[in-house]
Amino acid sequence: MQQVGEAKLSLLATKLRERKPPTLSMAPMIDCVFLLLIFFMVSTTFSPIPGLRVQLPPPGKPSPDKPKGLTVRIANPEPGEYRGTMVLNDVVVQVEEMFNQFINAPEESKNMLIIQSERDVLHEQIVQVMDIAKQAGIDKIGFAIVARD
């Protein structure tokens, strides 16, 4: 009688064990994953950066031949002003008339614009000149620099 009872008990115990396998609780992990997902979704930006491409010659010695093209020279701004005087082919030009000057330039010189600028000219003015040149269809823009040894 006692043996039968013990057997029944052990059977019940194994049944119970089979019925309740150990489980991992998934809920906290899913909570964390959701939080991470929301964080990355909110912090990701897909918008591109607007900019102007600068084409530079390959590194090395500058080419000895004089490049053909338009040359704009920009002087350091006078104290108190933020725009320097600009000279295009030995004539002083204002920003407003620059676009027409570029458009009316001879076709063979329109392939490239060389900007010779002094060191204290503001970046804004350079970008403005590049912008006008791109509007006028001049895609190659170069900067004149002094060669270092």
Partner 1 sequence: MALNLAQRRKTNDEDDIPMAPMIDCVFLLLIFFMVSAVMKANPPFTITLPDSSTQHEFTRKKYNLFVNSDGRVSIDDQEMLTLEDMELFIAAHEHQISTLIIKADKRAKHGVVIDVVERAKMRSSKTEGLEIAFAVSEED
User: Residues interacting with partner 1, by CB under 8 A?
Assistant: 26, 30, 33-34, 36-37, 40-41, 43-54, 56-59, 74, 82, 117-128, 130-131, 134-135, 143, 145
C-alpha–C-alpha distance, residues 141 and 138, integer Å:
7
What gap in Å lies between CA 136 and CA 103, rounded to an integer?
6
CA 35 to chain centre: 29
**Cα angle value 53/69/100 (rounded, 5°):** 80
Shortest reach from residue 96's CB to partner 1, in Å: 14
For residue 69, the minimal CB distance to partner 1 (Å) is: 18
CB-wise, 30 or 103, nearer to partner 1?
30
CB 110 to partner 1: min, Å: 16
